[in-house]
Amino acid sequence: MSSSTARDRGSARVRPDRRAALVSATVGTVAAGMVLALATAASAGTTLATSAAEKGRYFGTAVAANKLSDSTYVGILNREFNMVTPENEMKWDATEPSQGQFTYTSADRIVSHAQANGMRVRGHALAWHSQQPGWAQNLSGSALRSAMVNHVTQVATHYKGKIHSWDVVNEAFADGGNGARRDSNLQRTGNDWIEVAFRAARTADPSAKLCYNDYNTDGQNAKSNAVYAMVSDFKARGVPIDCVGFQSHFNSASPVPGDYQANLQRFANLGLDVQITELDIEGSGTAQANSYATVVRACLAVSRCTGISVWGIRDTDSWRASGTPLLFDGNGNKKAAYTATLDALNSGTPIPTTPPPTTPPPTTPPPTTPPPGAGCTASLSLQTWTGGFVATVRVTAGSSGTNGWAATVTLPSGTAVTNAWNAQSSGTTGTVRFANVAYNGRLTAGQSTEFGFQGVGTPPAGTPSCTAS
């Protein structure tokens, strides 16, 4: 009785031709366990979309409308993916080439193809400094602000109910170490342009998830800290935001960061989804395959990482084709990177949800002289803006190393900590204590680690005190 139940349940996912063979093989004394083993193997997805779906995620790709007449391209698209992002067709220059004149022909083609084939759509991108039509590039001030709000409203309304997630604002932070906003005509309309865009998008399409999307934010660094601070502030003030997109364009100069998973997790911990939105990894062979697997495992290990999109199908479809960064070669054959991605999706053993012990790259130079004696020392660096700041504290172990540590920061009157990462904080005002978390308490002599916190009010000055255990 129990073996026949197990066989029926297990064989339900086996293709009919396999099922007939299995049934005849099980006549007599063949153990139900063997059937179960075969059925388990057959239950692993055989495409990126089905494998991701079995893990509760989507697997998507950027799509170019002019390739939808390429049968090889469409064959792979329909077989492997269940989410599409129009690569250029929903951008401002494409959808509103003249002010107030909206053209959706190419973008609609992609949306129709997606809907006809059971795929969802990531909208990309409503407000961005790049790929603006000439007329918008020439606007400034309140005229540009109004035009931006109208654009967001019109495009999000046109696609209302058809979009899984919108990249509402794309790439609004500067590269480099200061965590500042990127200078652009939009930024010069006022620092609140981002939240204004999010509010307009929510009003136009309340069912779409609204994302902030950027690159070089994949690990913890000054830029991702600044995005983190903005998202924290939006959550605290009720600005509508549902997700953060991590573009994840990698190459040998910018590999998958060691703290990739930890960085996804800290954003997820703010209470929103995270998505890998434009994944491509330059390279070839095993090294490239391993990097893809690392990215997939990181997403699977973060419960609010809801999906992965690659930025094109074949290497020849890529915006940086010479780097052969995608999962299929120019002939549409599966690469080693494809197999590693599929295997990682099918793996039942995602890497642990506790972030691995990582030492993020220092944002301040390490002390030039080793710290004297036992105990620990701490130093503080700040990114500030009117009314708030992000602080990065570097903890360095003394000559005995540490099993644990705690750094104490004294805040000016009226200042409050709103959140912290890579440390457990006690209190929010006055003297605030930050203790190590599980993965960064143990430091060898002279070794450093960093934690951070965000605050409102005047930033702290001076050197934090540090005690070691």
Catalogue the active-site residues.
171, 278
Binding track over 423-462 against ligand 9MR, x by CB under 6 A:
----------------------------------------
**Local structure of 277: helix, strand or coil:** strand
Other CB atoms closer than 10 Å to residue 391's CB: what's the count?
23
Task: Give which of 389, 316, 425 is closest to 64, Cα–Cα.
Answer: 316
Q: How far is the CB of 254 from ligand 9MR (least distance, A)?
A: 13
- Does position 247 interact with ligand 9MR (CB under 6 A)? The reply is yes
Binding track over 202-241 against ligand 9MR, x by CB under 6 A:
-------------x--------------------------
Are 81 and 49 contacting, i.e. CB atoms less than 8 angstroms apart?
yes
Our CB check for ligand 9MR shows the closer of 172 and 345 to be 172
Interface residues for ligand 9MR in 70-109 (CB under 6 A)? 87-88
What pairing do the DSSP bridges indicate for beta strands 120-128 and 388-397? Answer: unpaired
d(CA 444, CA 458): 34
Residue of 104, 135, 319, 385 interacting with ligand 9MR (CB under 6 A): 319
Our CB check for ligand 9MR shows the closer of 62 and 270 to be 62
Are 198 and 234 contacting, i.e. CB atoms less than 8 angstroms apart?
yes
Q: How far is the CB of 87 from ligand 9MR (least distance, A)?
A: 5
- Whether omega for the bond prior to residue 180 falls within 30 degrees of 0, making it cis, is no
**Residue closest to ligand 9MR when measured from CB atoms:** 319
Our CB check for ligand 9MR shows the closer of 5 and 103 to be 103
Q: How many chain residues are in contact with ligand 9MR, going by CB under 6 A?
A: 9
Our CB check for ligand 9MR shows the closer of 215 and 389 to be 215
d(CA 246, CA 229): 16
Binding track over 24-53 against ligand 9MR, x by CB under 6 A:
------------------------------
Q: How far is the CB of 226 from ligand 9MR (least distance, A)?
A: 18
Residue of 3, 131, 316, 467 interacting with ligand 9MR (CB under 6 A): 131
Please enumerate in sequence order all residues whose Cβ is within 8 A of that of 357, keeping only pairs 6 or more positions apart, or say none.
Answer: 439, 440, 442
Q: How far is the CB of 62 from ligand 9MR (least distance, A)?
A: 6
Q: How far is the CB of 38 from ligand 9MR (least distance, A)?
A: 42
Q: How far is the CB of 256 from ligand 9MR (least distance, A)?
A: 17
**Local structure of 119: helix, strand or coil:** coil
Task: Give which of 159, 181, 161 is closest to 172, Cα–Cα.
Answer: 181
**Local structure of 115: helix, strand or coil:** helix
Our CB check for ligand 9MR shows the closer of 131 and 290 to be 131
Tokens of 357: 């012990």
Binding track over 264-283 against ligand 9MR, x by CB under 6 A:
--------------x-----
User: In this structure, which long-range contacts are made by residues 131-136, counting pairs with CB atoms below 8 Å and at least 24 apart in sequence?
Assistant: 131/88, 131/91, 131/92, 131/93, 131/94, 132/92, 132/93, 132/185, 133/92, 133/93, 133/96, 133/97, 133/98, 133/99, 135/98, 135/99, 136/92, 136/96, 136/99, 136/185
d(CA 274, CA 3): 42
Our CB check for ligand 9MR shows the closer of 22 and 326 to be 326
Our CB check for ligand 9MR shows the closer of 123 and 350 to be 123
d(CA 249, CA 368): 34
Strands (E), 282-414: 305-310, 376-385, 388-397, 405-410
Q: How far is the CB of 132 from ligand 9MR (least distance, A)?
A: 11
Interface residues for ligand 9MR in 151-210 (CB under 6 A)? 170
Tell me which residues touch ligand 9MR (CB under 6 A). Answer: 87-88, 130-131, 170, 215, 247, 278, 319
